Amino acid sequence: MKRFDYHVPQSIEEALNLFKSLGDAIYIAGGTDVMVNIKRKKISPKNLISLRNITALKVIEKGKELKIGSCVTHEQLLKDKYIEKYYTALHDAVRKLGSKQIRNVATIGGNICNAAPSADTACPLLVFDTKVLIRNEKGERKIPLHDFFLGPYSVSKDEGEIVTGFEITFLPPYSGSAYIKHSRREAMDLAIVSVATRLTLSPEVDIDFLKREAGEKTYSEFESRLLSYGITVKEARIAMGVVAPRPLRAKEAEDYLCGKRLTDEAIREASEIASSVAKPRDTLRGEAWYRREMVKVLTRRAILLSAKRAFD
Amino acid sequence: MKREIKFKLNGEEVTAEVESHWTLLYFLREVLKLKGTKEGCGYGECGACTVVIDKMAVNSCLFPVMEVNGKDVLTIEGISGPGEALHPLQKAFIEEGAVQCGFCTPGMIMSAYALFEEKKNPDDEDIKEAIEGNLCRCTGYVKIIDAINAAKRGK
Ligand SMILES: Cc1cc2nc3c(=O)[nH]c(=O)nc-3n(C[C@H](O)[C@H](O)[C@H](O)COP(=O)(O)OP(=O)(O)OC[C@H]3O[C@@H](n4cnc5c(N)ncnc54)[C@H](O)[C@@H]3O)c2cc1C
Ligand code: FES
Ligand code: FES
């Protein structure tokens, strides 16, 4: 393996200064992408600057907004009951990400900064209108995650800048979300295609009744009734993975759903629109036509699951 | 670049001079000659290299040796207490026939060990989740799950 020196700063400032003084360096968090890339000789940095020992980057804060530090591991996210309850799409994503060994070290910041088209946390964060917090010597800036992704493995920041975390506004009541990853194996497999959705509903019927139904009915019973309750969609977000060079929002489908009654027909139409926005390629993992078909199926399923979870 | 690190390895404090680009796996096998931990793929895919760091299962093939500084590392060589021949997990793997070629076994046992650190009474789903990053090309996994269950009952 190519030689590199390894630096272990204890603060963000120290890490920024190290980057400036070292020149040829890259940041490493969990290293599950970086170490693989070094071993595969895709990159050969002279210096690695570890962000793993900076405690400020490792916290999940629940203040005015939800703030997830960039070095929070997938396992930390998976165990967080609050995220499971309110940001369920993110919980879905980390549950199926890599293996236990990978989740124990790999971070959400690394997943987003690596910007693979299949990055599992990308679509969930997109449907929560997440903002990326970026630090350089001058200070901190904040940009929508949507503008952060430029293309495969390419993000909108200078090499020396550090992503410190992700800011997510609290969701209004009656919001629900879901992420569905379609892969050949349950564990340790990258997505062939994936979809995250988030709905905020405005139920015009008795809420207690709906909650009871959601709690008591099996999923398919509830699903078949859900669409006859006359629920209006207040806000919709749909994001798709591995259908474009970067994780993609299906804004046309979101706009279509917004203000509509949640009916089977509306969901099918939204899924068709999402599929028409997708621009997948033929790859070893799956052909373009197949991905487009699966976007329809997954979008429909994710919307239904989000709607059900809005009453959990 | 030569660097000094201090950490706990199988219960003992160790101070060592390492090259900063080594992985933990390289250091364990090629320098300390602890050959129980295996290298399968070298890319985080197979779990043969699994060790337990601060009670969590980790792929040592992707773990920079510099990151073990100050940490508590446990390998297959360290799980039985002094004087005791085999750990209950090791015994259970033998008794249940969960070892065939044996190449995946140290990694499997370390993943199961980390599971017991986290949950005293794991169910089958917990067990499957704990070993989802460990490939076995011989057993078909059923005997391995049986062995982990047997070790749980034996505790
Ligand atoms: C066996 C295996 C299975 C995998 N399975 C999946 C999977 O199912 N789904 C999935 O999405 N991914 C998967 N991955 C990929 C990888 O584990 C994830 O992308 C992971 O989240 C990366 O996080 P990390 O902390 O290890 O990143 P690192 O490898 O440390 O870093 C990744 C990149 O981000 C940069 N970086 C990291 N943190 C920061 C920061 N705070 N500021 C600025 N730059 C930063 C680094 O410089 C590097 O370019 C898998 C990898 C392996 C080896
Ligand atoms: S050798 Fe580390 S996971 Fe295969
Ligand atoms: S016993 Fe041979 S790989 Fe598992």
Residues A71-89 have pLDDT tens digits of 999 999 999 999 999 999 9
- Can you say whether the dihedral through the CA atoms of B21, A134, A57, A187 is positive or negative? negative
Residue B115's pLDDT band, with cuts at 50, 70 and 90, is very high
Arithmetic mean of pLDDT over chain A: 93
**B43, B78, B113 — which closes off a domain?**
B78
Q: Can you give the pLDDT at residue A230?
A: 78
Domain total of chain B: 2
What percent of chain A shows pLDDT beyond 70? 93
Whether residues B95 and B74 share a domain: the answer is no
Whether residues B12 and B72 share a domain: the answer is yes
**B60, B78, B96 — which closes off a domain?**
B78
The dihedral formed by the CA atoms of B31, B67, A72 and A120, expressed in degrees to the nearest 10: -40
ipTM computed for the complex: 0.97
Whether residues B73 and B97 share a domain: the answer is no
Q: Per-residue pLDDT averaged across B82-90, rounded?
A: 86
CB spacing of A36 vs B23 below 8 angstroms: no
Closest to B59 in 3D by CA, of A188, A27, A25, A3: A188
* Distance (Å, whole) CA A191 – CA A295: 12
A contact test, residue of B24, B59, B61, B134 with most A CBs within 10 A:
B59
CA of A107 to the centre of ligand 1 (A): 6
Whether residues B92 and B59 share a domain: the answer is no
Which residues in chain A are closer than 8 Å to B29, comparing Cβ atoms? none
Q: In the structure, which protein residues have their CB atom closer than 6 angstroms to any atom of ligand 1?
A: A 26-34, 36, 51, 70, 97-98, 102, 106-107, 109-111, 113-114, 118-120, 162-163, 188, 190; B 43-45
Whether residues B51 and B69 share a domain: the answer is yes
CATH for B111: 1.10.150.120
Residue in A6, A39, A50 nearest the CB of B42: A39
pLDDT higher than threshold 80 for residue B90: yes
DSSP state of A85: H
CA of B149 to the centre of ligand 3 (A): 18
Residues A160-181 have pLDDT tens digits of 999 999 999 999 999 999 999 9
Q: Per-residue pLDDT averaged across B74-78, rounded?
A: 97
Whether residues B74 and B8 share a domain: the answer is yes
Residues A284-294 have pLDDT tens digits of 888 999 999 99
* Distance (Å, whole) CA A80 – CA A102: 17
All structural domains of chain A, each given as residue ranges with its CATH number in brackets, are: 5-50 (3.30.43.10), 55-169 (3.30.465.10), 175-309 (3.30.390.50)
Whether residues B17 and B45 share a domain: the answer is yes
Q: Can you give the pLDDT at residue A72?
A: 98
Which domain does B120 fall in, by range?
82-153
CB spacing of B43 vs A39 below 8 angstroms: yes
**B44, B78, B112 — which closes off a domain?**
B78
CB spacing of B57 vs A187 below 8 angstroms: no
Whether residues B71 and B7 share a domain: the answer is yes
Residue A219's pLDDT band, with cuts at 50, 70 and 90, is low
